[in-house]
Amino acid sequence: METRPERNGGAFLIDRAAEMDGPYVAVVGQTGGSEGRVGATNIGRLRQGKAARGGANVTSWHLRVFAVVVGVMGCLLLAASLVMSALHQVQFRNGAISVNFRGLQKELKQNFVRKEQSEQIMHERLLQMATLATSKNESDSGNFALWEEPYKQASKWTPCAAKYTLEEEPSENNNGFILISANGGLNQQRVAVCNAVVVAALLNATLVLPRFLHSSVWKDKSQFGDIYQEDYFLNYMKNDVLIVKDLPHHLQSLDLEAIGSQITDNDISKEAEPSEFIRTALPVLQTNGVVHFLGFGNRLGFDSVPADLQRLRCRCNFHALKFAPEIQKLGSLLVQRLRGVSAMQTEMDKQLFGSNMLDQPFGDKRTDNVGGPSRYLALHMRFEMDMVAYSLCEFGGGDDERRELQAFRETHFPALVTRLRNTTVSPEDLRSQGRCPLTPEEAGLILAALGYDRGTFIYVAGSQIYGGATRLRPLTRLYPNLVTKEDILSSDELAPLKNFSSRLAALDFIACASSDVFAVTDSGSQLSSLVSGHRVYHGRGRAPTLHPNRKRYAQILSEEGGIEWAGFQKRVRTMVDEYKRVRARPRGRTVYRQPRTPGCMCRGDDDGSVDF
């Protein structure tokens, strides 16, 4: 490829040598000729002899110079010939190819693709089409369909849980105390707190401020007061259920397990009906005056809970739980830097930050293509090691990936490993059933199909992505403007939350809830569920959420080889649009994700009437 310029340079040098020698030879000839016409005198013959000898000397010197130049050029031409010969004999992985400029370009591209495939790209064909599409989408970047709720009915639903309390105020003359030790991370513990409020009201008991268990996965010793405002929570719920910070002294010394007052997740069904708590826990509570629920992960169901108790869940989750001031201030700073401009406070901002909302803008302003304030999309990329390992799926990493994930399962999920010894699990079947978390590449393909252009500013929530930068590279190829909280906030600003994963997760919660668009990749994620619910409840119909159906998406991706971009785009948009439709909470769905349900939200009609 580089031989042509060298060859042209050689010809240029030869031409310059000819130009330099030509005039001198001509002068010598002219001198000799001139002297020959002077006459056959002795002086003339002497001068003619001197001129002839001088001309011969000059000619000899220039001939030597010419010979050297020709020799150098010969060497250059020989070297060029050897390079061309070597290039023509290059052997590539796919066989011997006669290399010309176009062929070399093709081979370099093939080698690049092979390198990218070694970086675990799973959908190369679609990724290439998406890369082109994100560039073309720039002309549509101001399309409101990408940034607004498509259905006006969403704005007709308004929050109602704050308006009501229980008909009878709680009494200190009740059945005893309920103690909760909640497992999991930030969001699972949040659900446990609000479920505990409902159980306390159901059993006519006093709730002790919940404790959070230390997890080997989350590795965070934070307690309720480190994450939420204790006094605000106690005061807000005081007319609904009695809540105290500690057990009375006469109960603190009891061995609750020994006296039979400890109830674990093995004793209560997942998403149990209220009747099961009355049957299992109430007799113990009435006998011992205290019940300790250990774990309490998703123990209370949704469909059989009366509306007044359902309302308590919403009052707790959407109103009573306020992040600690330290988290609010840092979260406010994070959101303002993401927006990049001074913007009017939204209802969501008021709920998340309260009086700790910062007023001043930070840094240089960013504007979008339509000249308005900067907008950002928040993407919850639930692709951490624990999620990937627990899914039992495969993600293109071959034997190394299988060994790594199996080792993690053996350390962190021994019960799962035990169950697998007598069960055959097919990764292909899991994927077709929609049970595999989306990779960053697959998330990027959805955004590209929906029409988000290459310049879209994306906040990525989540901890360490499995595979790191290698796994993120397909997404950054489509959307280079990816940031995390670590990119937006300095290490000094994050220092107070360092080593506290739940408090750091609270910043992700805030950034996702405040975003112009929130994109979900895992329907089973508690953060995605809670953020989606907050956007429905406090968003006032102006907080769209993108929620793919993983089973349908897996079917679309399985047809990758025969689908064109237009067809892929149409099917993805139909899939996402289906979730955006406004409807009341379906049976069996969590109220934390879908709060359009009696006791939580009210629906106003055009005539001014209100349902629920």
104-124 pLDDT, tens digit each: 334 334 433 434 444 679 999
By CB atoms closer than 10 A (0-12, 13-18, 19+), residue 315 is buried
φ, ψ at 272 (rounded to 5°)? -70, 155
Which pLDDT value is given to residue 313?
A: 96
The one-letter amino acid at 303: D
Distances (CA, A) of 303 to 309, 310, 585, 598: 11, 9, 10, 11
Q: What is the SS3 assignment for 49-92?
A: HHHHHHHHHHHHHHHHHHHHHHHHHHHHHHHHHHHHHHHHCCEE
Burial of 477-514, coded b for 16+ CB within 10 Å and e otherwise, reads: bbbeebebbeebbeeeebeebeebbbbbbbbbbbbbbb
Please state the pTM of the whole predicted model. Answer: 0.77
How buried is 6 (Cβ within 10 angstroms: 0-12 exposed, 13-18 middle, 19+ buried)?
middle
Greater confidence (590 vs 81) lies with 590
Q: For residue range 123-136, what is the model confidence (pLDDT) as tens digits?
A: 999 999 999 999 88
> Of the given ranges (79-83, 186-190, 197-201, 301-305), which has the lowest mean pLDDT?
79-83
Q: Would you state the pLDDT for residue 452?
A: 94
For the chain, the structural domain boundaries read 1-59, 124-159+324-361+374-383+437-581, 165-320, 385-432
- Predicted pLDDT at 63: 56
The per-residue pLDDT for 145 is 72
In terms of average pLDDT, the best of 34-38, 167-171, 278-282 is 278-282
Alpha carbon distances (Å) from 197 to 178, 206, 207, 230, 283? 10, 9, 7, 14, 19
Give me the percent of the chain exceeding a pLDDT of 70: 74
- Mean pLDDT for the chain? 80
CA distance 336 to 407: 41
Q: Which residues of 411-425 are buried (b: 16+ CB within 10 A; e: fewer)?
A: eebeeeeeeeeeeee
Identify the weakest region by mean pLDDT among 17-21, 145-149, 215-219, 489-493. 17-21
User: d(Cα 462, Cα 467) in Å, to the nearest integer?
Assistant: 13
Residue 194, CA distances (Å) to 60, 191, 247, 563 in order: 104, 5, 19, 46
DSSP, residue by residue, 356-392: G---S--SS--B-TTSSB---EEEE----HHHHHHHT
Among positive and negative, which fits the CA dihedral 509, 510, 513, 515? negative
Residue 177 banded pLDDT, cuts 50, 70, 90: very high
Distance of CA 264 to the CA centre of its chain: 35
Q: Which residues contact 119 (CB under 8 A, 6 or more apart)?
A: 470, 471, 473
Predicted pLDDT of residue 66? 59
**pLDDT digit string (tens) for 203-215?**
999 999 999 998 7
What pLDDT sits at residue 178?
98
CATH no., domain 165-320: 3.40.50
- For residue 274, pLDDT over 90 is answered with yes
What is the pLDDT at residue 381? 93
Q: What is the pLDDT of residue 243?
A: 97
